[in-house]
Amino acid sequence: MDTHKRTFFKTVSWRVLASFTTAGVTFVLTGRLDLAISVGVADSVVKFFIYYLHERMWSRSRYGQIREPEYEI
């Protein structure tokens, strides 16, 4: 299971990348830098918390994980 600190930093790094992507797409579609920045910031704030909660829920699940033996003989 990931620590809260690891999940937090994964969240931050993903949000930076995703925010630039969202702002870039918004700018290409509208040609307005002010709108692109506003949408990028709003998107980041909301999705930061959603992603963090999503990661924490998955870290509690064992679905798809391969369990290593606790010891070997």
Total tally of structural domains belonging to the chain: 1
Q: Would 65 be classed as within a structural domain?
A: no
pLDDT of residue 34: 96
Q: Would 26 be classed as within a structural domain?
A: yes
The structure tokens listed for 61 are 């699940």
Q: Would 66 be classed as within a structural domain?
A: no
Condensed to tens digits (0 to 9), the pLDDT of residues 22-46 reads: 999 999 999 999 999 999 999 888 9
Q: Would 52 be classed as within a structural domain?
A: yes
Range of the domain at 48: 6-60
Q: Would 1 be classed as within a structural domain?
A: no
The radius of gyration computed from the CA coordinates of the chain, to the nearest angstrom, equals 18
pLDDT at 52 over 80: yes
Q: Would 49 be classed as within a structural domain?
A: yes
